[in-house]
Structure 1
């Protein structure tokens, strides 16, 4: 069975997904560059501008495929348009765009009465000041259509608004084809723990796969420094959480595919932060696999090929991922790993930074600031965190010079 994959992403963050899909499908990659690390997992590839739906369609017509899939947030709309053009299963372009465009998401949820943050779209600093007066402090500024918390900043007072607005408005992300570049959302700050729900959808029916609890750092920015999935987390069957996720997807018209929904658990109940029309990032599906045995990539591929998804829970553990950052802006010389010093619970320890790479902490850098990642699986969250602390000491960043 041949599956078209639009972009593979980086090996550190997405390699395990491609490896898993390739065990069951013949994968043909449509990407902006020739494959490197991806090559052993591919049946074929075509170099094409993945932002150009017409070019994607022409490349795909020469192939016989059963489904189209992407886990690249910047290509979910193009992938949905391609699937529609080829008559293959998918979310549909309107639903994909409604998830990608955070303003459209807010409008759809508001019409349906789904709990979420209050939000005002602005294009200038005077408009931002007026919106802030309505929303109240603290508040959050975020670009309209970027990902990975790029340009997202918490603003505590009016004195900090101008600088934060300039940062949010100027934010960019590699490969992003922006919706209304320069548009910024002024949003109510939702106080409470942040979680994500990864779920697969088939004909409007939701199968929740796993819940991740997010760890953030570098305030006032929302840098995701780690995630934890508990195989016995009660939130995975919490009626208010699941009802909110279901209502949000009904509101945006999403019925088919895999999504990663972010929520805040406020005093008034769960509220939607955003919906991402793709598999979760930051190795969350990997720790979901470690915690529950769920294979997100294969399940998403099943739905993309028109098959009814199956989510099989094989065990219940706790798993976590942690990202390592330098102490200050620097240029990396080398990342050294000491395998013998890693706890037995470590599943992977991956060097991310390359020799000579600039590492800049938020707000100048976000996920690009990381020099390594570590995943562990244990019997408790406490043990996971303790083992991550120990493992972090076995991964050392050698700095060429500070910046």
Structure 2
């Protein structure tokens, strides 16, 4: 659905200067990093949802920047409770009534005499709620409608597909999108339009991390996989943290070949401040579980420019005008095709890698934008390449649990030979679809050097196996 805000964006979108964008240096501000931190120091920022283990570093890092975090969390015993200056327990677990939750949380904030400078969430399922709170508080951030569009993969694709004739700028956002079909019941699988083409991608409409995503070759296979996935992923208790609090409906659209890339964008008042591209390795079938990452991108400058243009335009056309967003694309022979838009900063290893390579912190910029401050992004020269491989519970839990692999892993970490990031704590029960629990990365002066080092590490730690061939995952790097 269109609104006047979206129409205004059509008239104000300007094509980014690729030389400025690719250098990732904003010339619109004249502040250095120290003065930038002074501006955020003392700001009170509401964070909705404490998230999981992967968010554990946000709280001490925010404190180092002088940010006073007010954490609103449904779990009264959340591990972040003692890590933030203010903790407010409120049960918002039923996201079907986020409008009620937003009003009551804002009343709680005001009732405690707290004057907040901004509000945001780093946790997918809480992003729409944070948007509603921003609207009530009058603080900066995308609208609830924009966040709900981004939260639904089918709605994102279909809104962009319809933004063609009413847009005068070129390229139009509909060039990057694909008509999608939203599936809520098994019967919906029988209602695909005659023009629908296979192979197709099937995945959770609100899910994160590609959990349960797969390729289907026919209508019969579509229905079979839909029933299997929705029966195993029914609600949040089946797989916490992937967005099932918003339901387990699915979506399907045409499947595209090509290489996969993440574009992390920073947007303030509709203007592109900076963008960073990370390459993704070949996914592991039958499900689209992430396997590998490379930063900086191996793409030529002109292809990077096309991806940045596409990410920026897609964000604006669904109303994401302020914030840090993670946009996933397939780069096909016909150009970029949108996979999905995550209306928060990128997950997995992206924040840590950007800090290590470029010296920038996407969390800081997220907080700054929420507080009404335009970030100044100045990066240092990059002379290294990071390539990392995901580790999965079924095959690699032993590197954390068994000797001598555990000792060897931590020895490599201490010597600086590898960068290891853990996304969640391992339990005895294997999670469905074998989502990655961590990433092991190495750096090199060239792509070939980094790949050789990674393969050596993977052999020593028994990560490279017949059923997990790392060399295949990183072949495009």
Band of TM-score, shorter chain: 0.7 to 0.9
**1:363-402 equivalences in 2 (<5 Å):** 364-367=432-435, 370-392=436-458
1:164 and 1:152 map into 2 onto residues whose CA distance is 10
Cα RMSD (Å) of the superposition? 3.0
Deviation at 1:235, TM superposition (A): 5.4
Q: Does 1:322 align with 2:389?
A: yes
Further displaced range: 153-162 or 198-207: 153-162
CA change 1:233–1:94 in 2 (3 A) is same
Q: Which has the higher contact order (CA 8 A, sep 6+)?
A: 2
CA change 1:10–1:184 in 2 (3 A) is closer
CA change 1:60–1:232 in 2 (3 A) is farther
Q: Does 1:73 align with 2:134?
A: no
**1:222-371 equivalences in 2 (<5 Å):** 222-230=288-296, 234=300, 238-316=304-382, 317-327=384-394, 334=401, 336-338=406-408, 339-341=410-412, 344-348=416-420, 350=422, 352-354=424-426, 356-360=427-431, 364-367=432-435, 370-371=436-437
**1:15-26 equivalences in 2 (<5 Å):** 15-24=56-65, 25-26=67-68
1:383 and 1:42 map into 2 onto residues whose CA distance is 41
CA change 1:227–1:357 in 2 (3 A) is same
CA contact (8 A) 2:279 2:298 kept: no
CA change 1:326–1:93 in 2 (3 A) is closer
Deviation at 1:328, TM superposition (A): 5.7
CA contact (8 A) 1:293 1:313 kept: yes
Highest CA radius of gyration, 1 or 2? 2
**Please, which of 191, 210, 215 is the counterpart of residue 149 of structure 1?**
210
Q: Does 1:94 align with 2:145?
A: yes
List per-residue Cα deviations over 1:2-28 (Å, max 9, x = no partner). 2212223233x2233333322111222
Deviation at 1:242, TM superposition (A): 2.3
For the residue of structure 2 that corresponds to 1:250, the secondary structure is helix
For the residue of structure 1 that corresponds to 2:91, the secondary structure is coil
CA contact (8 A) 2:199 2:217 kept: yes
For the residue of structure 2 that corresponds to 1:300, the secondary structure is helix
TM-score, normalisation: structure 2: 0.73
Q: Structure 1 unaligned runs (5+)?
A: 398-403
Further displaced range: 70-79 or 31-40: 31-40
Q: Does 1:7 align with 2:25?
A: no
CA contact (8 A) 2:328 2:341 kept: yes
State the partner residue of 2:278: 212
2:389 and 2:333 map into 1 onto residues whose CA distance is 27
Deviation at 1:34, TM superposition (A): 4.2
TM-score, normalisation: structure 1: 0.86
